[in-house]
Amino acid sequence: MFKIITDNGSDIPEDYAREHDIDTINLATIIDGVVYNQGVELSKDKFYKMLAEGAKPTTSQVNPDQARSYFEEHIDDADEFLYIGISSGLSGTCQSVMTGAAEFMEKHQGKRVEVVDSLTGSLGEMLTIYKAVEMRDSGKSFDETVAFVKENAIHACLAITVDNLMDLWRGGRVSKTSAVIGTMVAIKPFITVDNEGKLDAGGKIRGRKKSLDHIVDYMEEHMGSYRDMNEIIMIAHGNCPDDAQYLKNQIEERLGFKKFMVNSIGPMIGTHTGPTICLAGYFGETRS
């Protein structure tokens, strides 16, 4: 059986990762000179507490040596490895893993590593992982699974909003001027990921509840022929569980879906979005 790997950009739930034997090669979160990564962990609760106290975190991508070291350390886990990584439009991590994997395979001729650029992050990345796990566990071959996730990654969609534009400014996603003006008039950004795997923060909605309702509108509009591929809808939040519950209820009532995976956003993604992010991940015919 082949091994599935991802990174912490997927916000994969810890219990799901353990249950399905999925490892992560983690991007680092850096706060006050302390590098949090494998071996130096940072819990979500502690991270959001530090944010509330004024911490200004940054992140750092995986480097090729880190990726190669992972494969060397796990060489006996499998002969075939499928890495599903955060969008190349958001991080250089996929390229680093490709480089590290190539060095590993050159040294170990019997091993195969396929690197799939998810062209998304967080729940979009997690959706692709979920489908890969289903295929592997149902007996599909490595090549069948790789082909499927490469073909369908572009259909893993995100619909995102945040309540505080200043968080997006601190995370480097909007200008300070836009954040200040938007905050004054209660503008809530609506964010998607485009076909190149980059964030599109062009949507603007007035009011938090309306922005959450718009996520459901957007999902309904863009699922199209891929609606039946959504056996599960994914929802996540930074540190606003009530908003995530409201979003789940609206999706269930308006769109009729019954199976959900609800999770919270980890420090790596949370660094760039803050605690008020709320989002849904689903398969859609188009991303925009």
Fold exhibited by the domain 155-283: Hypothetical Protein Tm841; Chain: A;domain 3 (3.30.1180)
CATH of domain 3-153: 3.40.50.10170
Strands 278-283 and 156-161, by their bridges, are antiparallel
**Alpha carbons 256 and 250: distance in angstroms, whole number:** 9
User: What's the token pair of residue 3?
Assistant: 């091994």
Specify the amino acid at residue 73.
Answer: E
In this prediction, residue 172 carries a pLDDT of 52
Q: Which of 43-57, 62-76, 180-194, 240-254 has the lowest mean pLDDT?
A: 180-194
- Write the CA distances from 112 to 80, 143, 267, integer angstroms: 5, 11, 31
User: What's the token pair of residue 184?
Assistant: 């004054």
- Write the CA distances from 85 to 123, 169, 177, 264, integer angstroms: 12, 25, 33, 19
Per-residue model confidence as pLDDT tens digits over 68-92:
999 999 999 999 999 999 999 999 9
Per-residue model confidence as pLDDT tens digits over 142-165:
999 999 999 999 999 999 999 876
Question: Longest C-alpha distance within the chain, in Å?
Answer: 60
In this prediction, residue 203 carries a pLDDT of 79
The answer, yes or no, to whether residue 188 has pLDDT greater than 90, is no
**Alpha carbons 213 and 86: distance in angstroms, whole number:** 27
Angular region, 33: left φ>0, alpha ψ -120 to 50, beta rest = left
The structural domains of the chain, with segments of one domain joined by +, span: 3-153, 155-283
Q: Which of 35-39, 213-217, 258-262 has the lowest mean pLDDT?
A: 35-39
Q: What is the mean pLDDT of residues 182-198?
A: 77
The pTM assigned to this predicted structure is 0.93
Q: What is the mean pLDDT of the chain?
A: 92
**Alpha carbons 103 and 65: distance in angstroms, whole number:** 9
In this prediction, residue 288 carries a pLDDT of 85
Taking each continuous run of H as one helix and of E as one strand, the counts in the chain are: 11, 13
Q: CB–CB of 62/96 below 8 Å?
A: yes
Q: In the structure, what pLDDT confidence band is assigned to residue 169 with cuts at 50, 70 and 90?
A: low
The helix (H) or strand (E) run that includes residue 262 is strand 260-264
The answer, yes or no, to whether residue 178 has pLDDT greater than 70, is no
CA-atom Rg of the chain in angstroms: 19
Angular region, 232: left φ>0, alpha ψ -120 to 50, beta rest = beta
The helix (H) or strand (E) run that includes residue 200 is strand 199-206
The helix (H) or strand (E) run that includes residue 141 is none
Q: CB–CB of 165/193 below 8 Å?
A: no
Per-residue model confidence as pLDDT tens digits over 36-77:
987 788 999 999 999 999 999 999 999 999 999 999 999 999
In this prediction, residue 201 carries a pLDDT of 78
Q: In the structure, what pLDDT confidence band is assigned to residue 24 with cuts at 50, 70 and 90?
A: very high
In this prediction, residue 91 carries a pLDDT of 95
Tokens 């689903």, located at residue: 282
Q: What is the mean pLDDT of residues 192-212?
A: 90
**20 CB-contact burial (10 Å; exposed 0-12 / middle 13-18 / buried 19+):** middle
The answer, yes or no, to whether residue 129 has pLDDT greater than 90, is yes
